[in-house]
Amino acid sequence: MNYHHTDDIQCQPQNPMDLFYSGHTVKICAPMVRYSKLAFRALVRKYGCDLCYTPMIVAADFVKSVKARDSEFTTNQGDQPLIVQFAAKEAQVLADAALLVCPFANGIDLNCGCPQRWAMAEGIGACLINRPELVSDMVRQIRNQVNNPRFSVSIKIRIHEDITRTVDLCRKAEAAGVSWITVHGRAIEERHQPVHYDAIRTIKESMSIPVVANGDIKSLKEAENIHQVTGADGVMAARGLLANPAMFEGYDETPLTCVQDWVDIALEHGTPFTCFHHHLMYMMERITSKQEKRVFNVLSSTSAVLDYLRDHYGV
């Protein structure tokens, strides 16, 4: 596996649960396919992010293949507290994956929220919200096999049309020993409909463990409002952080210092050009004109991007 400074990070004492009892709303970077990788996690941590997730990793591939482990999971000493998110449908496979990352991360999260057709067809992701016994068994197996009480086991879910079913799922997971639950306040078939913050509140009121609110959080002000409305212990952002990695520090749009930081971090980490460029396209969405976007978005090399940023923004 691609661990930098492996010897230094094999004894991580940090317990992510401590964040939830710190008295402030925990600010979290969501698991995002292709995007929430090490370099981007380093960036958002500089701007007020308390906890970061890896992109979703398919546990079965991760356990079977050294190549998958090397390409899917990279971390270093500054990359904590860190949660590794897995998609799985078998308890032992998930426990095996947890044992592999346990020395290098602070917890794992089971994806019970991915609504993509391929995931549902595989029996992973959001279809797990309809299998509460299996989810509970998965949590229990990790608790039994990972010999580290400070290692967290969380789940990220979507909601049912009938919220009592979601509450039942959450209570069963809590009884099995889950550390916290992140709730994306939409049902499986909902994409761009408004988030049901009232449902997140109902779940929070039914649990004694921390609950994290997720869905359409685009600014620090919105994060604070959603905390008030739901009573959630944490807020998790995805696209809001892509568009503005400094969002949790209270910036309304990406400041140029953040653009500069991304350039420095991405180059230092050897980030592939496409990923480096895509992040900048997201970050500069609100601060560039249509005409500028037309030019910037088709640049095809790191040097062309660096020249453009220097000439137009002094970065």
Which residues are tagged catalytic?
A: 114
Cβ neighbours for 31, distance < 8 A, ≥ 6 positions apart = 53, 54, 55, 56, 85, 109, 111, 156
Q: Give the number of other CB atoms < 10 A from CB of residue 140.
A: 18
* CA separation for the pair 273, 277 (Å, rounded): 6
Name the E strands within the chain.
Answer: 2-3, 26-29, 51-53, 57-58, 74-75, 82-87, 107-112, 152-158, 181-184, 211-214, 234-237
Name the E strands within 102-160.
Answer: 107-112, 152-158
Burial class (CB in 10 A: 0-12, 13-18, 19+), 124: buried
* CA separation for the pair 60, 240 (Å, rounded): 30
